[in-house]
Structure 1
Amino acid sequence: MTDFPTSLTSPGRCQGCKSNPELDLDFAFAYQPIVDLRTRSIFAHEALVRGVNGEGALSVLNQVNDQNRYRFDQLCRTRAISTAARLGMTELLSINFLPNAVYRPELCIRTTLEAALENNFPIDRLIFETVESEHIDNNRHLTNILREYREFGFKTAIDDFGAGYSGLTLLADFQPDLLKLDMALIRDIHRDRVRQAIVRAVVTMCKELGVTVIAEGIEHPEERDFLADCGINLMQGYWFAKPAFKALAQVGPEVWQKA
């Protein structure tokens, strides 16, 4: 049974709940596995927003605006959890959140906790990824959100590291459980000495900080093998499995074979 913080059972709501209208768009989820090379198993599944008929993420995200951002972010969390529970997910579930949609994290997280309780999905199996490529109006606000989430027992992750606005400054202010290297750093890394040097440096830095690195966007076994030699064991990408629409993707035995 999921523990539900009693301090959040009062009927209070933040201003975002009061001022935002009901959501005027619909969407679904696809789930893509994050694998662990050490155990040759699935470590987590990332919930990826899709149109109701499986259309790409942009078909939904292009409809998100200042008026519906908060409701969209809230519904993303609850729907990702309820769908994962219905599919029988036993691994960790990683959910992206929009920092600019969070007003007061201690209140905005309420619906997420309620969804976890209702679906009997353990809080310690939830990962919240901040989209590092999204412009953040207030970096202090973001680090406060991440700290609050950690206090609740969630795991935290910085997504798309190396591609966005915050970069090393965000990492200096807050050390998450997980850091996801952007696929632009990963592409053809086995042939690119510059990217190799950058990734090795990030892995060394994260090891010292106690942060686990995930490499995303793996499409070739040579990329997988180079990153494994760098000490990265958690990976995600088409080489292992494409996102499965309203389902949990399977990882076949052939993905572990050496190139």
Structure 2
Amino acid sequence: MRRGCQGCQGGSSLPFDFTMAFHPILDVGRGKVWGYEALVRGTDGQGAGQILAMVDENNRYRFDQACRVKAIELASSLFPDAETRLSINFMPNAVYEPAACIRATLDAAQRVGFAHRQIMFEFTENERMTDVAHVRRIIAEYRKQGFATALDDFGAGYAGLNLLANFQPDFIKLDMELIRGIADSPQRQTIVAGVVVIAERLNIAVIAEGVETEAELASLRSLGIDLFQGYLFAKPTTARLPEIWLPAKARSASRDAPATASTIQATRAA
């Protein structure tokens, strides 16, 4: 444990540079941007895969910390208002001591004046949870600090519903494989409807990610989902906020809602 914490706090700098792209999460029911997910990109246009391929056991902890700081610093200068959320992916297996490893995040947020309530941390099912009790401690510490948590890629990966029984995050993000073709798949509709019911009873909000067609959007809306992410609305853009498409009904909702910078951002591309 001591060596891992030193990896978070000291050691040599990363042997590569990176930046962040931002991908919107939309509250379609209210016709506005709910937040943005920060996604790793190279400074010369490299995709996330090329950057992540350079992450190894020697720099994993420093990279995880650097990603959080970079995302917060960029968001503080780009986000239109204090209500817009920032979603940051993190590696549970790269956090040794939750209270100690969150210090860089807290310091960055304080330095740029970014409120804790605006930050959500996503952890993914695709990273095997080697220590369930440890992940539970991470989530408890983040909540104590005022951060929200989300389980990414729900419906894929190692643990499935067992993670909800163990962790109860604030949000779950449905895996795109459950979303793809849902408009023509009664099986997928039934599964997602069941997940929505479970989430409601556990007081967990659902985000549908990977939405690419209006038919998928309509089907998911009919199942009671309001929060969406996907190429239908926008593609990630590096170090700036993207132009966003919203369906006609959502644009009408945004005109009825109080005017905010994030609402303008969501509708200006229509």
- What is the TM-score when the length of structure 1 is the normalising length? 0.90
User: Post-superposition shift, 1:21?
Assistant: 3.5
The residue number in structure 1 matching 2:76 is: 85
The residue number in structure 1 matching 2:262 is: none
Cα distance change on mapping 1:19 and 1:79 into 2, 3 Å: closer
Superposition map of 1:216-231 within 5 A: 216-231=209-224
Moved more, 223-232 or 52-61: 52-61
User: Post-superposition shift, 1:41?
Assistant: 0.4
Counting aligned pairs with the same residue, the percent is 48
Q: Which residue among 120, 126, 149 is the counterpart of 1:133? A: 126
User: Post-superposition shift, 1:195?
Assistant: 1.0
Cα distance change on mapping 1:124 and 1:257 into 2, 3 Å: closer
Given that 1:29 and 1:50 are in contact with CA atoms closer than 8 Å, whether structure 2 keeps it comes out as: yes
Aligned pair 1:171/2:161, yes or no? no
For this pair of structures, how many residues does the alignment match? 246
SS of residue paired to 2:135: helix
Superposition map of 1:3-152 within 5 A: 14-17=5-8, 20-90=11-81, 91-152=84-145
User: Post-superposition shift, 1:55?
Assistant: 1.7
Quote the RMSD (CA, aligned, Å).
1.7
Q: Which amino acid aligns with 1:195?
A: R
Given that 1:16 and 1:103 are in contact with CA atoms closer than 8 Å, whether structure 2 keeps it comes out as: no
| In structure 1, distance between residues paired with 2:55 and 2:77 | 26
User: Post-superposition shift, 1:34?
Assistant: 0.3
SS of residue paired to 1:176: coil
| In structure 1, distance between residues paired with 2:129 and 2:233 | 32
Query: Deviations 1:112-132 (Å, cap 9, x if unpaired)?
Result: 000001111101100000022
Q: Which amino acid aligns with 1:131?
A: T
Given that 1:20 and 1:70 are in contact with CA atoms closer than 8 Å, whether structure 2 keeps it comes out as: no
Q: Which residue among 223, 226, 237 is the counterpart of 1:244? A: 237
SS of residue paired to 2:113: coil
SS of residue paired to 2:149: strand
| In structure 2, distance between residues paired with 1:139 and 1:241 | 35
User: Post-superposition shift, 1:106?
Assistant: 0.3
User: Post-superposition shift, 1:253?
Assistant: 4.3
| In structure 2, distance between residues paired with 1:83 and 1:101 | 23
Moved more, 69-78 or 46-55: 46-55
Cα distance change on mapping 1:44 and 1:144 into 2, 3 Å: same
| In structure 2, distance between residues paired with 1:128 and 1:206 | 18
The residue number in structure 1 matching 2:258 is: none
Structure 2 stretches of 5 or more lacking a match? 252-270
User: Post-superposition shift, 1:17?
Assistant: 3.2
Cα distance change on mapping 1:186 and 1:104 into 2, 3 Å: same
Given that 1:132 and 1:161 are in contact with CA atoms closer than 8 Å, whether structure 2 keeps it comes out as: yes
Structure 1 stretches of 5 or more lacking a match? 1-12
- What is the TM-score when the length of structure 2 is the normalising length? 0.87
Q: Which amino acid aligns with 2:146?
A: G
SS of residue paired to 1:239: coil
Given that 2:172 and 2:204 are in contact with CA atoms closer than 8 Å, whether structure 1 keeps it comes out as: yes
Cα distance change on mapping 1:65 and 1:255 into 2, 3 Å: farther
Aligned pair 1:215/2:208, yes or no? yes
Given that 2:25 and 2:35 are in contact with CA atoms closer than 8 Å, whether structure 1 keeps it comes out as: yes
